[in-house]
Amino acid sequence: MELSAKIYIAGHRGMVGSAIERRLRAANYQNLVTRTSQELDLRDQAAVADFFATERPEYVFLAAAHVGGIYANSTYPSDFLYDNLMIQANILQQSYVHHVQKLLFLGSSCIYPRLASQPLREEYLLTGSLEQTNEPYAIAKIAGVKQCQAYRRQHGCSFISAIPTNIYGPHDNYHAQNSHVLPALLRKFHEARMNESPTVEVWGTGTPRREFLHVDDLADACLHLMLRYDGSEPINVGTGEDISIADLARLIQRITGYRGKLRFNALMPDGTPRKILDVSKLASMGWRASIALDKGLASVYALAEWESEPQSMGQSVSTT
């Protein structure tokens, strides 16, 4: 991928897409093509076809997606399924039609079976039942992986897939109900400290274990894969380390300086008991995560612009 190559970043305003844009610019890629959702509705087949016909990108990072935590997935299942299927189908089809040299599709670790052996290996895909709380989103992401493989098999397209673990970082969604567990906890503890609340409630028992990857590490891995990988199988991207939700809450409590008590609401759903990726394939390609969770969280909290996030805390924190 030459530095002058024309690169389209789908979803450049989101947490992952913006990190990919930062990483590419840091590597001196300047011919980047972006569109906001107001400028281009990626669910609109004709609009996406016109965009590709006009811009003709040589490389595509497909980071656009409709995402959210347990509450959002449970409340808007048809939106998660429809939006993600349409976004993926339109971009992949037009990338084939207009001879994109290479495309990277970003999936999600929720595509693996709920009770699969840990750590999760790439070959576990479609070997068991999914976690019900985010099944529509997972099905859409599985379809994206399979679409990349189908275009490669039928048309010889160089479409690859990366499966990231739980991501956090700048430009995250801090909505107390619609976000994932880490940003929701950050906001909840921040507001509890500011309001001097005596307790913070966390959904579930606190026992589920999750793996967290800083989005800048993910962006670095995406560039690494675009430059060095051209296989049909999806590649896991993570740290290879996990933490319980209870310990995560205590870590965030320390980082935010909250001095009250934690209360785990065991009546609320835990989600998948454990989710950690086997990252040995990516490690064999010479890439490993470099940002430790405590340092990453501290930097994210220091830079968060809470005043620009007007949503109230609500009563729940999801554990997707």
Instruction: Name the catalytic one among 59, 71, 112, 137.
Output: 137
CATH 3.40.50.720 fits 7-168+212-237, yes or no: yes
d(Cα 301, Cα 260) in Å, to the nearest integer? 18
* Residue boundaries of the structural domains of the chain: 7-168+212-237
Q: What pLDDT is attached to residue 305?
A: 66
User: Is 106 annotated in some ligand binding site?
Assistant: yes
In angstroms, rounded to a whole number, what is the distance separating the alpha carbons of residues 33 and 21? Answer: 10
Q: Is 59 a catalytic residue?
A: no
CA distance linking residue 284 with residue 236, whole number of Å: 12
What is the model's pLDDT at position 9? Answer: 98
Q: Which of 21, 1, 3 is nearest to 12 (CA)?
A: 21
* Cα 35 from Cα 109, distance rounded (Å): 27
Q: Mind listing the pLDDT tens digit of every residue in the chain (320 residues)?
A: 999 999 999 999 999 999 999 999 999 999 999 999 999 999 999 999 999 999 999 999 999 999 877 777 888 899 999 999 999 999 999 999 999 999 999 999 999 998 899 999 999 999 999 988 889 999 999 999 999 999 999 999 999 999 999 999 998 877 656 567 888 899 999 999 999 999 999 989 999 999 999 999 999 999 999 999 999 999 999 999 999 999 999 999 999 999 999 999 999 888 778 889 999 999 999 999 999 999 999 999 998 766 444 333 222 333 33
pLDDT of residue 313: 29
84 is in an annotated binding site: no
Q: Is 167 annotated as a binding residue?
A: yes
Q: With helix as H, strand as E and coil as C, how does the chain read? A: CCCCCCEEEECCCCHHHHHHHHHHHHCCCCCEECCCCCCCCCCCHHHHHHHHHHHCCCEEEECCCCCCCHHHHHHCHHHHHHHHHHHHHHHHHHHHHCCCCEEEEECCHHHCCCCCCCCECHHHCCCCCCCHHHHHHHHHHHHHHHHHHHHHHHHCCCEEEEEECEEECCCCCCCCCCCCHHHHHHHHHHHHHHHCCCEEEEECCCCCEECEEEHHHHHHHHHHHHHHCCCCCCEEECCCCCEEHHHHHHHHHHHHCCCCEEEEECCCCCCCCEECECCHHHHHCCCCCCCCHHHHHHHHHHHCCHHHCCCCCCCCCCCC
Q: Is 165 annotated to bind ligand?
A: yes
Per the annotation, does 6 bind a ligand? no
pLDDT of residue 76: 86
**pLDDT for position 112:** 95
